[in-house]
Structure formats: C-alpha cells, structure tokens
Amino acid sequence: MDKFREAIYKVDDLQVRRLGSTAVTQAMASGISAFLGGKLGLGNQVTTNSSACTTGAESVLLAYERIKYGYAKRMLAGSTADSGPYIWGGFDAMKVSTFKYNEQPEAGSRPMSATASGIVPGSGAGALLLESLDSALERGAVIYAEVLGGNINSGGQRNGGSMTAPNPAAVQRCIVAALQQAGVQPGDIDLVNGHLTATGKDAEEIANWCTALQRKGKDFPYINALKSMVGHCLSASGSIELVAVALQLKEGFVSPNINCEDLHPDIQALVDRERIPEQLLYKDINLVAKASFGFGDVNACIILQKYLQP
C-alpha cells in the first residue's frame, strides 16, 4: 500500500517512467514468491496463495499435499505481511484495533482476556521447509515436527459467518476433518495453538474447539495464543505460529499466554484455568492442533506431531 502511495505522488499521466522499473514486481501479490524463487533457483511450483489470516497455514497444507501425492520432494512454504499506517489505518476504521493500551503497549494484546479490546498490529514472515521423510533422512536434516494432515474450508459467510466473522459450524467441521485426515483422535491432542486474536470472538473460538474435540474443563488440551506476545501478523500469522508450534514440539515446552490474568468468564466456564498456562511450561508434547481463521469466513487446521527418532 505504501508503494502505491509513493508511486502515485511521483507521477502524472504523462510521466509514468517515474514509477520505476520495479513498481510492478513490488506491488503484485506474487512478487515475493517470484523473488524467492529466483534467489534460491527453485523449480517445481512457485506460486502465491492469498487467503487472509489463513494464508500461512494454507500454504503449508498445499505444500504438504504436493509432497504427499509425489509431485515434489520438498517445498518451501510460508507467508508474510507488511506493516504501515495505511494498512493498519483500515483496521482502525473497522474498530478492531485496540486503543486502550496506547500508554502501555506491552499489555495491549490480550487473547482470551476479559479486558481484551482488539488486535495489536504485527508483521513479519514465517517459513517452513516441508519434505518427505525419506528426503529428510537422506540428507541428514534436523526434523522439527511431522505434518500428519489438515483441512481447509469456508463457512460461505452464512449461518453466523460473514466477511469478518467465522461460521461456527464450518470452524468445527474444519477441526474435525483435520483430525480425521491426520488419523488421530480428539483425545490425543496435547496442545491447541489457536487463532485467538484478542477480540470478542475468542470465547466463541474456544467454544468451537470444545465442541469439535468433545473435550472441556480439565480434559481440554493445553491451549496457547502466540498473538499475546507478537500481535496479529495477518497473513503472516499462520506461518509464524506454525514455526512456534514446531519449536514447542521439538524442544518440549508450551509457550505462555501473557495478558490473560483476567480470563474471560465464558472461557473459564469451558476450560480449566490450568490448561491456559501463563508461564513457560516445560512439558513433552506429542500432538498439536494449529488453526487459523481469516476474513472471508475461511478456515484452516493442521495437525503436527513430535518426530521420534526410530
């Protein structure tokens, strides 16, 4: 967005050369994958997916499927999001960004909190190298986690779903289908890494998890929200959070939820407080369900497993 604004002020209709020769590649959505493809000399498929906040999770599932069906040995999958006043100004205009903690920014991002008042802007990128197990073992790669499967769907912006809100039934179907595709039972999940944006939809998301997993109270898995520490990175959020999940699986810990000391009462009624750790928890976890839900009523859920050396 900043690139467009900068370009517009440089030109009039008769002086388009002032835009510069890189204006198109810097503005097009596929410019990043094209740039990386050239830098790394990648063949096979170089493409860009764009699905709001599910982009990163979706990219990993697309790469997973391409490898699973034998079209590639390894794929680099990830997502990124820019930052700037013209991007975040739009979210302010939608009244989804918090302003109550401007003088105390570290307390602003409050997923699952009773005093959550909106998202905190974040940006960045995350990427994962996916490959077949044979390929990883052959080259002696460090294996952080195994992708067992997942699901992508849409709620159709019906039955409670809209451009900005998820259809609860579709969210639940996405989670259930991800478990089925991965071949695991709901009771096997040790950790849920939620989308959890610090908005009024957090309690609804927890309710969806409880319904989909048929688990609640002390039986609910551990749950964490990385956005409490890094803010909401939009299209980058899924891949950044997947990197965090892979690290938790490999190193044996559950990252804390900060700023939720005043847990939302609707969440507390569903999930035991101990399942939402506020401090770093060193614990060997085996299976994680990671979900991303995005604008347009689109959903993605991925099941990852700790890799155990044979």
Return the number of other C-beta atoms located less than 10 Å from residue 283's C-beta. Answer: 13
Closest CA to 303 of 125, 147, 152: 147
In a domain, 233, yes or no: yes
Taking the C-alpha atoms of residue 19 and residue 10, their distance in angstroms, rounded to an integer, is: 7
User: What is the token pair recorded at 60?
Assistant: 């990993």
Report how many domains make up the chain: 1
In a domain, 102, yes or no: yes
- Tell me the pLDDT tens digit for each residue of 202-237: 999 999 999 999 999 999 999 999 999 999 999 999
In a domain, 48, yes or no: no
In a domain, 161, yes or no: yes
What residues act catalytically?
Answer: 53, 195, 232
Taking the C-alpha atoms of residue 293 and residue 310, their distance in angstroms, rounded to an integer, is: 35
Domain interval for residue 103: 55-62+81-305
Provide the whole-model pTM.
Answer: 0.95
In DSSP terms, 80 is beta-bridged to: 125
Closest CA to 234 of 105, 92, 124: 124
- Tell me the pLDDT tens digit for each residue of 27-52: 888 999 999 999 999 999 999 999 99
In a domain, 289, yes or no: yes
In a domain, 176, yes or no: yes
Mean of all residue pLDDT scores within the chain: 94
- Angle at the Cα of 210 (from 209 to 213), degrees rounded to 5? 80
Task: Say if residues 235 and 50 touch (Cβ distance below 8 Å).
Answer: yes
In a domain, 265, yes or no: yes
User: Does residue 134 carry a pLDDT above 70?
Assistant: yes
- Read off the CATH number of the domain in which 189 is found: 3.40.47.10
In a domain, 128, yes or no: yes
User: Does residue 167 carry a pLDDT above 80?
Assistant: yes
